[in-house]
Structure 1
């Protein structure tokens, strides 16, 4: 009887840990140095949200909205897969956007799931209507005082335009460029193009992160992926990979809490 109770306790404790680890976002902060960053942008705080996949964090996304609001960001980057094409519920994503409208300017790029819905133009229109700057292989300028930095957004390549083509057709316009792209697996293409700082998601943190393993499987990378979480640097290019917030085909994160990424430029 005691052994049975112990087994039941372990099962219940494990289930509770898994549940908690899938509904409680963690904030990860990266201080990133950029060459030629104007003094006006030193200390600029960016919140990156990625791969929501229609997950819900409190009624009307209240918990997620509060967590972002508490960080008082200057900019918010949404790097794709705000919805899930398998259980499409745009309203859950729009609730998050509405709750963040007054917090900071928002910039968005598509992920593969938006493209897969075949309703990507409608999704973009809804986001634009809420004041989000939608970037589809194009740039916007963010100005502070008399200086600007370029924010470039790459449409997910599922739309038919490979990432390297988008980069070739839109070279950097100014001294400082922040690039939003859903895909981390093409890191070498960002390096070749000379991108400075790239914000990506898509990998879901490798889904399972236990016993020192930095992720077991990721879309576009397969088993034991190379790019799952944190900052990767090569030849002057830095790439940030968000672990994301929700799940898609595999319904659970293991040792891999949903992530809000905070980046402070220096």
Structure 2
């Protein structure tokens, strides 16, 4: 009997270490892509607040510790209306940091019955939501492209007011868009793929997520003919609230 109990406890411990701990053990990825802007950006992607094991207090501590110049939120906050209140606790941490914050929407956000409620919530916390539009910031242009996989991306509209001579930084959700962009950019940040989340071989053959991950690109820094791009592994989980060989991530970009 004792060996059965011991085996069961060992199995539970293994499940926790392999599948649960990576969702709680936050990793701060650091990327240096010298564009001469002299700024530090903290990217927050894929909160999926209904399946998020990082607390608002943890998020606030990371922001305070890193002291970024900007916060860029790259989509997928929640797809459930009743999760907007829990989401607001994280957005409050963003607002209280005092760091200028900009956001785009993800595919799960577009599942909301009333997307305007999410947009209003983000805006109420001082977060600028970019929907296929650009803003002029000190030293560079920030271009926000809506979710490609949901058919909401309007690239020509997003780049309409962009100046050719100024550096271009893009935030979007689905990195598959880089295969379709013809506009030049200096740097692009995306999420969506969770670093595979359950990191086993051939996952994207069983669960197709687009041509980019099918080619083996689903996390980290890469290069296209139009510019360099980074895919975050995200904070929260989609589907099952577990990860395998992939930790939750926030990303510090030094540009």
Please tell me the TM-score bracket, short chain as reference: 0.7 to 0.9
Over the aligned positions, Cα root-mean-square deviation in angstroms equals 2.6
**Cα distance in 2 between the residues matched to 1:79 and 1:129:** 18
Q: 2:229 aligns with which of 207, 223, 239?
A: 239
TM-score (normalizing by structure 2) = 0.86
Cα deviation, residue 173, structure 1: 4.9
TM-score (norm 1): 0.83
Gaps of 5+ in 1: none
Q: Distance in 2 between matches of 1:101 and 1:253?
A: 29
Q: Distance in 1 between matches of 2:53 and 2:44?
A: 13
Q: 1:99/1:242 Cα in 2 relative to 1: closer, same or farther (>3 Å)? A: same
Structure 2 CA distance for partners of 1:5 and 1:122, relative to 1, 3 Å:
closer
92 and 110 in structure 1: CA distance in 2 versus 1, 3 angstrom threshold: same
Matched residue, 2:48:
53
Query: Structure 1 residues 114 and 233 mapped into 2: Cα distance closer, same or farther (>3 Å)?
Result: same
Q: Deviations over 1:59-81 (max 9, x none)?
A: 5x111221222111110000000
- Are 1:202 and 1:219, in contact at CA under 8 Å, matched by a contact in 2? no
**Residue 246 of structure 2 is aligned to residue 259 of structure 1:** no
Name the structure 2 match of 1:216: 203
- Say whether 1:99 aligns with 2:90: no
Distance verdict in 2 for CA 1:153–1:168, change over 3 Å: closer
CA 1:239–1:219 in structure 2 vs 1: closer, same or farther (change >3 Å)? farther
Q: Deviations over 1:83-129 (max 9, x none)?
A: 1x257501222211111214211000000111111322221112112
CA contact (8 A) 2:143 2:159 kept: no
Give the 3 Å change call, closer, same or farther, for CA 138–11 of structure 1 in structure 2. same
Matched, 1:15 2:15: yes
Distance 2:215 2:248 in 1: 18
Residue pairs, 1:82-121, within 5 angstroms: 82-83=77-78, 85=79, 88-103=82-97, 104-121=99-116
Q: Does 1:125 align with 2:140?
A: no
Distance change in 2, residues 1:13/1:161 (3 Å): closer
Aligned to 2:176: 185
Are 2:224 and 1:229 equivalent residues in the alignment?
A: no
Matched positions, count: 249
Cα offsets for 1:171-194 (capped at 9, x unmatched): 55542011011011222223x221
1:4 is matched with 4
Q: Which residue of 2 aligns with 1:25?
A: 26
**C-alpha separation in 2, matches of 1:87 and 1:24:** 27
CA deviation vs aligned residue, 1:109-160 (integer Å, no higher than 9, x gap): 00011111132222111211211111011111222xxxx3111101114664
Tell me the CA shift for residue 161 of structure 1.
Answer: 3.6
Alpha-carbon contact 2:144-2:158 (below 8 Å) kept: no
- Residue 5 of structure 1 deviates from its aligned partner by 5.1
Alpha-carbon separation, structure 1, partners of 2:149 and 2:82: 18
Structure 2: which 5+ runs fail to align? Answer: none
2:145 aligned residue = 154
